[in-house]
Amino acid sequence: MRESGRFVSGLRLAFATLTVVPMRSGRVDRTTAAVAMSLAPAVGLALGVVAAAVGLGLRALGAPLLLAAVGAVAASAVLTRGLHLDGLADTADGLGSYRDRETALAIMRRPDIGPFGVITLVLVLLAQVSAATAVLARPWPAAAAGVVVAVAAGRVAVALACRRGVPSARTDGLGALVAGTVPAAVCVVAAAVVAVVAVPAVPGRPWQGPLAIALAVLAVLALCGHATRRLGGITGDVIGASAEIAVTATYVVLSI
């Protein structure tokens, strides 16, 4: 009973934190956070299905592919309250400032967005929409798989950023709650499952989908490593940035 209760609490926390689903998080501690962040890839698959449905639905209605791609990318942003995009902007401002650790962390806490954040957001969203346009131009099974795995890859990134051994840059906040809670084995299994789902995403090239996931994982590891060196660990913003970097990398590789 205790294990089932922990799983339910973690699932509720995962949806409450990573989506707009109006769900009470219930019990919140590091044990529950570990379950929640471990379930992030599963939540990502669900979000990916919705984003794919929006993109393919617009395509079926005769909308231009570019508009369908905007719809798929926008759906992902709306379903997560834009939380990860906000984290990406804050991380870009903090790391892009090249200031000392404390100043960089203070910059990331500010509610406004600086020039580094604006430029990064614009380029990342342009890359996602452009690549998603190419993905949605494929036959519907491949197009659906491409959108689903791109969104899911972003939530595999959440688990990776929270894996054991990665410290928190702060003693408070979301990063402090979830940093170092996810077993490495969970990250490996999650990445492998999403890689399998990615196999049909590029017709005639079954290796390209798994390659996209592998490169997304490497990009996230690089970002978290850089943040740890610069900031002393990760923050909630770095977790969000990791998600968007993984989504972008996956879309781009799938579109080639």
Predicted TM-score (pTM) of this structure: 0.95
Residue with tokens 């529950």: 32
Q: Which domain holds residue 130?
A: 2-255
pLDDT at 91 over 90: yes
Specify the number of domains making up the chain: 1
Q: What is the pLDDT of residue 1?
A: 44
Alpha-carbon span 223 to 166, nearest angstrom: 12
Q: Note the maximum CA span of the chain.
A: 51
Please, which residues bridge with residue 163 across strands?
A: 182
pLDDT tens per residue, range 178-232: 999 999 999 999 999 999 999 999 999 999 999 999 999 999 999 999 999 999 9
Q: What is the pLDDT of residue 92?
A: 97
Write the DSSP symbol of residue 166: P
Share of the chain above pLDDT 70, in %: 97
Q: What is the pLDDT of residue 8?
A: 87
- 233 in Cβ contact with 188 (< 8 Å): no
* Range name among 11-15, 100-104, 192-196, 251-255 with the lowest pLDDT average: 11-15
Q: Which tokens hold the place of 95?
A: 């790391």
Q: What is the dihedral of CA 201, 133, 211, 77, to 10 degrees?
A: -100
Alpha-carbon span 53 to 68, nearest angstrom: 10
Q: Which tokens hold the place of 233?
A: 């660990």
